[in-house]
Amino acid sequence: ALDIAKAKATVTANSVSTVYNGQNQTAAGFSAIGLVNGETESVLSGVTASVMAKDAGSYTNKANGVDKNYDLTFVDGALDIAKAKATVTANSLNTTYNGKNQTASGFSATGLVNG
């Protein structure tokens, strides 16, 4: 009998760092080391890695799957969405003292995403 053992390979899910933009954002795909005879990731047709998110935060891109020729070890990737920068400025009021309580109300904002 001819016994052929699986080769060992490590699959690492891709990582993406971006800034919140109000839209769904994705980290997808993977890389692999340990593939033999010049093979590329395309031979790992049973392996997937993808994560989608909209809000700021860190999300795990988890690779998983099986392959008939490789004993696979998986390393997680990440989708990191940073908070968008916005500036809020309080309205100001110039007035003369009149002995009464005075207030300035309202504000303006710049850098907001989608509105």
109 occurs within a structural domain: no
**Residue 113 belongs to a domain:** no
Alpha helices in the chain (DSSP H): none
**What pLDDT, in 10s, does the model give residues 36-46?**
999 999 999 99
Domain contains 31: yes
Q: How many domains does the chain have?
A: 1
Amino acid at 62: K
Residue 78 inside a domain? The answer is yes
Host domain of residue 35: 7-84
- Residue-wise pLDDT for 64-113, tens only, equals 999 999 999 999 999 999 999 999 999 988 888 999 998 889 999 988 88
Q: What length does the chain have?
A: 115
The residues with which 77 forms a beta bridge, in sequence order, are 61
Q: Is residue 91 part of a domain?
A: no
CATH of the domain at 43: 3.10.430
User: What's the pLDDT at 56?
Assistant: 97
35 membership: H or E segment, kind and range: none
Distance of CA 54 to the CA centre of its chain: 9
